[in-house]
Structure formats: C-alpha cells, structure tokens
Structure 1
Amino acid sequence: MGFPGTWMTESESTVYRVVPKCACSSIGQILFYSDHGRFFDGDIHDSTTGLHKWAQDASQPLIEANAKGHKSYAFTCVRNPYTRILSSFFDKIAGIQRNGKRYRGNMVPKLCAQYGVDVGSPDDDFQFDQVASFRRFLLFARDTIKYRRPMDPDIHWSAMSGHVGTFVANGGRYDHVVFTEKFNDGMQVVLDNIETPVPVDLSKVPRFNESEGHGPKRLHPVEDFFDDLSMHLIWEIYHRDFKLFQYDFENPGNKMPKAEVDLDEIHAKLSD
C-alpha cells in the first residue's frame, strides 16, 4: 500500500502525513518555503515539483525509504471532528470549487435529490437553511463511511484515524501530532526539531485557506448544527478520532483538545 497522502521536503528535513481539512495548505506551503525560500504560486496541492509527494511516482521510493527507516522527523495534523465535518460541508458541498464547478460533478445534485439537501447557489447568495441541510448531509456522510453507499467515503470527511493510520500500518512512526486549533504552537515544535535549508518565521507566514471565499459563510455557532441525533451520527463515524486525538465529544462548542495526544497509543491502535 505504501504511504498515500504523505509529503516530504526535497531536503528530507521532515515527513508529513496529510489529513484533508486539517491545515494541509498551510503546512504544505511552510514545507515548500523551508526548502526554497518562497511559497508555491498557487494551491500547494497542485504542485508537481519542489515537494516530494506520494502521488508523484518519482517521489515514492524516497518517501518509502525515509518513512520505513524513520530517517526524518515525521508528523501529522488533526482537527476537531465537529469543525472538520462542518468545514467539509461548507467547502465541498455548499461551495463552488476553484474551477467554478461543484465538487465531484453530479455528487451535489445527487445529494439534493436523495437526501433533500439544499445548498443554494451564487445567484441567490447561497440562501438556504444551513442547519437542516448540514444535518441531512451528515446522514449521507455516515452512509458513505458505514455502508459505502451511495458512494465510497470522500477523503475530506472520512475519519482522521484512517488517514493517520496508513502511515503507521505501513511502517512509519510519528514524532509529533499538530492540533489545527494550536497551529503555530504545534508547527513550532516541528520546526524546532528539524534543520531546514531556509529558516521559517511562523509569525510571518500568511494564512493559506484555499477553500475560503468559494461558498457561503457559516451563519451559526458550531453547536447549533448538532442536535442529539447529529451527535449520535458523529460518534458513530468519528468515535476513534475523539478518543485518539483527545477532542471533546460531549460539547460541540468546545473545539479545543482536552490533552496532548499519546503517541504510543496512536502507534499501538493504528498499526493494524
């Protein structure tokens, strides 16, 4: 299986396992800058040079040798499951993508037809009942993850433990897990433990949010989206994420982790 979703600096200063919707644009740009002294011009996910990626055939043997030999400091980044699934909804379901189209072609029309989701459009300034539509999307997300119907789960809402776990199951080992909610603190730990060709001052790094501005703004606080049934569905989908990454399931309004992650537990439980 190898190391899907894994990026590595060309200098091999560090290895990073991407988790979608967890500051991956910012992290990728920081890694790119740390080698080249400039940011990638565009969405870092579109880069084909300047950063090793598992999706690039030439990078695979280098990433595999590094990860299996634990030659470099390795890390990943996680996010509160409540805010992550909300972000996925507003970006991928309600939003218009950078190419001016809906995400994944006919998926949104199918969602509207089969699950009663309404996401409005740019023409009506995205006027729709955000809470009702999100809760219906949540049913769809659960069905894709639990039953693989009406489609396989998308990487943007499949569980973080699944993404993080492939790196461990295939022979990698993490040195650190960054919390999106404490991003600068977590990335500073990474930078303090590696030697980069170019120094990085996190206070001067711009915010890279490639999904911003393409869709509706969230109009309600996080907790308003999650009633008792929604929380039940969230637990069904993401119970491992809450446990492993120390997030607060009982209070959707508390986005902060309750404690640091236990790396030994992560390696023990995700090594299968």
Structure 2
Amino acid sequence: MGFPGTWMTESESVLYRVVPKCACSTIGQILHYSDHGRFYDGDIHDASEGLHKWGQPASRPLIERAVKGHETYAFSCVRNPYARVLSSFFDKICGIQRNGRRYRGKLVPLLVQRYGVDVGGEDGTAPFDQIASFRRFLLFVRDTIRWRKPMDPDIHWSSMSGHLSTFIHNGGRYDRIFWSESFTGGMASVLDAIDTPHRVDLSRIPRFNESEGHGPPRAHPVEDFFDDLSMHLMWEIYHLDFQLFGYDFTRPSQLAPVRGIDLAEVHARLGE
C-alpha cells in the first residue's frame, strides 16, 4: 500500500499526510513556499514538481525512506466532520468543477436517479431544497462507506481516521495533528518545529480554497442540515473521527473541538 496521500518538501524538511477538505490546498502551498520562496502557480494538487508526492513514482523511495526513518517531522490536519461532509456536498456534488463538468462524470446523475438528490439543475443555478438534498446524499455516503455500494467511497467523504491510518499502518508516526478550525496556531506549531529554506510568515499567507465558488452558497447554518436520522448516520460513518479528534458529536453547531488530540491514542487505535 505504501503511503498514499503523503507529500514531502523537496528539502525533506517535513512530511504531510493530506486529508481532503481539511485546508490541504493552503497547506500544500505553504510547503511549496517554504522550499522555493514562492507559491505554485495553479492548484497545488496538480503540481508535478516542487513537492514530492506519493503519486509521483520518482518521489516514492524518498518518501518511504523519510517516513520509516522517523527523522522527518510528520503532520496532518483535521476538520469537524459535520462541516467537512457538508463542504464535500456543496463542492463535489452541487458544484461545477474547474473543467466545466460535474465531479466524476456519472456520479451526480446516479445520485439524482437513485437517491433523489437535487443539485440545482444542469448548471447548478436553479434553487433547490439544500437540506433535503444533503440528507439524501448522506444516505449515499453511508452506503459507499459501509457496503461500498453503489461505488467505493470517495476520498472527499471517506473518514479522516481512514486517511490517517494508512500512514500509521505502514510504519509512519505523526508528530502533530492539528485542527483546521485553529489553523494559524496549528500550522505555526509545525513551522516552529522544522527548518525551512524560506521563512513563512503565516500572517501574510492567503487561504487557497480551490473549491470556493464551485457550488452554491450554503443557505443555512450547519446544524440545520442534521436531524436525528442524519446525526445517527454521522455517528455510524464518522464515530472515530469525533472520538479521536476532539469534536462534539452531540452539537452540530459546535464546530470547534472541545478536547485535545491524544497522539498516543490515535496511533494505538488507527494502528490496530
């Protein structure tokens, strides 16, 4: 399996396990800047140079050596599961992607036909019941994760613990996992722990939200999308994310974490 979703600076100053929908575009750009003194011109996910990525064959032996040697600082970033799955819905399901098409081709038509999901018409501009549509999408998410039907789960709504576990299973250890809700402090703690060719002033770093504008604006507070059934599904799908990363399952309105992350517990439970 190796270390899918793992990026490393070319200077080998730091390893980052990407978790989709958790500030990964901004983090990737910060890592690129820390090595080169400039941001990547475009979506950092498309970059084939400037960062080592597990998806690039030439980078794999370098990443594997760094991970297993435990000498390169390794980190990741997580997000409240309620906000994260909502972001996936509005970006990937309701939104038109950068290529001018729907995400994954036949995925949205499948959701419309089988689950009754409404996405605002062909171009996504028609009004629709966001709450009802999202709750139907959540049923689909549960089906993909629990039964891998009608398709395998997508990386954007797979559990964060599932993403992070692959790094641990193959011999990696995290030095830091921080919350996107307190991004500046968390990222600062990483940068303070490593030496980089270029200094990063976080106060001057823009947020690189590559999904911004893909879908319609969310018309309701986060908590309005989650009734009792939706919360039951959220626990079924993401209970480890709530437990390990300090988020309050009982209050969807409480987006900030309510307790700390115990790295020893993360490694013990995700390494099983």
| TM-score in terms of structure 1 length | 0.99
Alignment partners' CA distance in 2, 1:180 and 1:119: 27
On the 8 A contact 2:124/2:215 being kept in 1, the answer is no
Q: Is the 8 A contact 1:118 1:129 kept in 2?
A: yes
Match of 2:23 in 1: 23
Partner Cα distance (2:170, 2:107) in 1: 32
Kept in 1, the 8 Å contact 2:165–2:271? The answer is yes
1:234 and 2:237 correspond? no
Q: How does 1:70-85 map to 2 (within 5 A)?
A: 70-85=70-85
- How does 1:47-126 map onto structure 2 within 5 Å? 47-121=47-121, 123=123, 125-126=125-126
Q: Which runs of 5+ in 2 are unaligned?
A: none
C-alpha distance 123-144 of structure 1, shift in aligned 2 (>3 A): closer
User: Do 1:74 and 1:173's aligned partners in 2 also have CA atoms closer than 8 Å?
Assistant: yes
Report if aligned partners of 1:131, 1:225 keep a CA contact under 8 Å in 2: yes
Structure 1: unaligned runs, 5 residues or longer: none
Name the amino acid aligned to 2:248.
Answer: D
Aligned length: 272
Partner of 2:191: 191
Q: Please tell me the residue identity of whatever aligns with 2:103.
A: Y
Q: Percentage identity across aligned positions? A: 71
Match of 1:268 in 2: 268
Shift of 1:215: 1.4
Q: Is the Cα contact below 8 Å between 2:143 and 2:150 reproduced in 1?
A: yes
TM-superposition CA deviations, 1:90-125 (whole Å, max 9, x none): 000000000000000010001000000001147572
Q: 2:261 is matched by which residue type in structure 1?
A: V
Classify the secondary structure of the residue corresponding to 1:171: coil
Contact 1:5 1:18 in 2 (8 A): yes
- 2:2–2:64 CA contact under 8 A, matched in 1: yes
The separation in 2 between residues aligned to 1:124 and 1:37, in whole angstroms, is: 38
Indicate whether 1:216 and 2:216 are aligned.
yes
Q: 1:190, 1:213 → 2: CA distance?
A: 29
Q: Which moved more, 1:217-226 or 1:258-267?
A: 258-267
Q: Give RMSD over aligned pairs.
A: 0.9
Distance in 1 between residues matched to 2:37 and 2:95, nearest whole Å: 32
Superposed structure 1 runs of 4+ greater than 3 Å apart:
121-124
In the alignment, is the contact (CA less than 8 A) between 1:126 and 1:215 conserved in 2? no
- Going from structure 1 to structure 2, the CA distance change for 1:34 and 1:218 (only over 3 Å counts) comes to same
